[in-house]
């Protein structure tokens, strides 16, 4: 018997982003999102073959978002 454990962190992520925006009066939200997208792009770039397989598996299972 397998037990599945699913956690949806969407609400927590939106709450985190709202707190960040509240904390920084001079924050440019568009630039913040662009910088975050660039950080994710860099994080998942230059993976070796095994790391790429694991990344693709996590994307396919919906654990990580697919890169645009």
Q: What is the pLDDT of residue 2?
A: 65
Report the candidate in 41, 48, 34 with the shortest Cα–Cα distance to residue 64: 41
Tell me the C-alpha distance between 19 and 17, whole Å. Answer: 5
Q: Is 62 helix (H, G, I), strand (E, B) or coil?
A: coil
Please report which helix (H) or strand (E) contains residue 61, including its range: none
Is 22 a domain residue?
Answer: no
Is 55 a domain residue?
Answer: yes
User: pLDDT tens for residues 7-60?
Assistant: 788 899 999 988 888 887 777 888 888 998 899 889 889 999 999 999 999 999
Q: Is the dihedral of CA 12, 17, 21, 24 positive or negative?
A: positive
Is 44 a domain residue?
Answer: yes
Tokens, residue 61: 């299972």
Q: What is the pLDDT of residue 67?
A: 76
What is the span of the domain harbouring residue 43? 28-68
Which band of pLDDT confidence, cut at 50, 70 and 90, is reported for residue 68? low
How many domains, in total, are found in the chain?
A: 1
């Amino acid at each position: 018997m397998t037990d599945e454990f699913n956690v949806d962190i969407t609400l927590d992520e939106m709450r985190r982003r709202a707190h960040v925006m509240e904390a920084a009066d001079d924050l440019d939200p568009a630039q913040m999102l662009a910088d975050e997208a660039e950080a994710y792009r860099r994080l998942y770039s230059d993976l070796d073959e095994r790391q790429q397989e694991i990344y693709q598996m996590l994307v396919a299972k919906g654990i990580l978002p697919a890169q645009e």
